[in-house]
Structures are given as structure tokens and as C-alpha cells.
């Protein structure tokens, strides 16, 4: 039996690919052989991403549903197919329970959950039209599985993403489209730098991770490549925790 994690000939779309997890995931998919399109809200950034990936520049704001549909459609039209969608674009606005305001709540929900659903809907339509198996991978968070203080909106959005993953997996299974999620712990990126550079917060985080260290972008990228590959053909509706054991307590 031959097991392969290669993605040669596959077309992948990664939302929010200009930096951090999105950039790392896009690079990993490309290294595995896929044609990768990475999106960004900013045109200049989208052009830089396209140059880095040697691919198509796609400007997409995941809070703007017409923009989401246009970006997915453009990718599928340019390459004649769409095999893999990675819903990575996300935002976190840490706030205590009494400080959460409506605008912040809506921003987190619209980006992390609403945008992910409509991107998946648009991508799945093309996958069905293509008539071959597809892969949808949602970048969730351990905050969608366990409670983390000052992250009520974020945790709710990621918990919704975990539930959404299961529902989409059931509905799309008849089309041989798998839907899974990757749920990382705190990962060292520029977006988490302020949190992890706070000695109190860093100690609080590390004390909850049995393996004793925060995640790296490569950890999440590797899990994503696995779920995108034929090696995960029978895996669907699953949330793969990449958390160093945080949720094992």
C-alpha cells in the first residue's frame, strides 16, 4: 500500500494568506505540489502573495459575501477547477466579558464564522461541478473546544466553526467532499506576539500545555497538508487539535 501526502495537480485556495498561519499553510500546500491561490483584503498584499506563490492575485474580504464568491469563482475559472479550500482568515479581539461591544462581536463572528461558511458554500459548488473529491479545511482553534478567558466572541466563533465542520461534512459526503478543521493552541506569529511577550500571559499559556511549548506555524501547516491529501480520504467531520495536549487535561 502506498500512502502519499502529495498534492500534485490540485488547486487550492487559502483565505488570509498574506502572513502568519495563512502564509505558512499556503507555502506548505505549494511545497506538496498544489497550485495555490492566497487571498488578502489589500490589493498590494494580494499581489505580493501571488508573486510569492507564483499564482493568481485574489483580493477578498471574507466579511463581504459578494467578494468571497467572486474570489472563489475567479480561482475556479482561472484554473478550471478547485480542489482544496482552506478557511484561514480570522480575527481575534480579546476582551473581558464586560468590555465586549457589539461592533467587536460582529467583526469576529462575520470574519471567523460567516465568511468561512459562505466561502465553503461557494467552493463546494465548484467541487461538485468538477465531479471529483474535494477538501475543505477550516482553521478553528482550541478556543472552540475549551474556554479561554477574554475570548468570548472568538471562542463562540470557533466553536461555531467546529459545529459547522460537522454539518458540512455530513451534507457534502455524498459528493465525496471531506470537511475537517484544524484547531491549534497559541501559535507564535506576529498576531500573537503581544500576548506571548506578556510574561504573565505566556506563563499562563505554557502552564496549560503538557508538552511545554507554544505551537509553530509549521505544526498547523503540516496538519492542513495531511487533511488535504489522499492520506486523509476517510477523515471527515473531524477537528484535529494541534495543541500540545492543552485539551487533554
| pLDDT tens per residue, range 29-47 | 999 999 999 999 999 999 9
Q: What CATH number matches the domain at 11-188+216-239, 3.10.180.10, 3.40.50.620, 3.10.105.10, 3.40.50.720?
A: 3.40.50.720
Which tens digit of pLDDT belongs to each residue from 80-133? 999 999 999 999 999 999 999 999 999 999 999 999 999 999 999 999 999 989
Q: Is 226 a catalytic residue?
A: no
Measure Cα distances from 172 to 144, 160, 164, 177, 237 in Å. 22, 18, 12, 5, 10
| From 118, 154, 186, 246, active-site residue | 154
Which tens digit of pLDDT belongs to each residue from 139-176? 999 999 999 999 999 999 999 999 999 999 999 999 99
Cα angle 85, 124, 238 (rounded to 5 degrees) comes to 65
Question: String of b and e for 175-207 (b: at least 16 CB within 10 Å)?
Answer: bebbbbbbbbbbbebeebeebbeeeebeeebee
CB 6 within 8 A of CB 226: no
For 146, phi then psi, to 5°, come to: -130, 155
| Confidence (pTM) | 0.97
Amino acid at each position: 500500500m502506498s500512502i502519499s501526502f502529495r498534492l500534485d495537480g490540485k488547486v487550492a485556495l487559502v483565505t488570509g494568506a498574506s502572513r502568519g498561519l495563512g502564509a505558512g499553510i499556503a507555502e506548505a500546500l505549494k511545497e506538496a505540489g498544489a497550485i495555490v491561490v492566497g487571498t488578502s483584503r489589500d490589493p498590494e498584499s494580494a499581489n505580493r502573495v501571488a508573486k510569492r506563490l507564483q499564482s493568481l492575485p485574489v483580493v477578498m474580504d471574507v466579511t463581504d459575501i459578494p467578494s468571497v464568491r467572486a474570489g472563489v469563482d475567479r480561482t475556479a475559472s482561472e484554473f478550471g477547477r478547485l480542489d482544496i479550500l482552506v478557511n484561514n482568515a480570522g480575527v481575534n479581539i480579546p476582551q473581558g466579558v464586560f468590555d465586549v461591544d457589539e461592533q467587536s462581536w460582529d467583526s469576529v463572528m462575520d470574519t471567523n464564522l460567516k465568511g468561512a461558511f459562505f466561502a465553503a458554500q461557494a467552493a463546494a459548488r465548484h467541487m461538485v461541478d468538477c465531479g471529483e473529491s474535494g477538501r475543505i479545511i477550516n482553521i478553528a482553534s482550541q478556543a472552540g473546544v475549551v474556554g479561554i478567558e477574554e475570548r468570548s466572541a472568538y471562542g463562540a466563533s470557533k466553536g461555531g466553526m467546529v459545529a459547522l465542520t460537522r454539518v458540512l461534512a455530513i451534507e457534502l459526503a455524498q459528493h465525496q467532499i471531506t470537511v475537517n478543521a484544524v484547531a491549534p493552541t497559541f501559535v507564535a506569529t506576529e498576531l500573537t506576539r503581544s500576548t506571548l511577550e506578556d510574561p504573565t500571559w505566556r506563563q499562563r499559556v505554557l502552564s496549560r500545555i503538557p508538552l511545554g511549548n507554544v505551537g509553530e506555524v509549521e505544526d498547523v501547516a503540516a496538519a492542513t497538508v495531511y487533511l488535504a491529501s489522499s492520506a486523509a480520504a476517510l477523515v471527515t467531520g473531524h477537528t484535529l487539535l494541534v495543541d500540545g495536549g492543552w485539551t487533554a487535561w
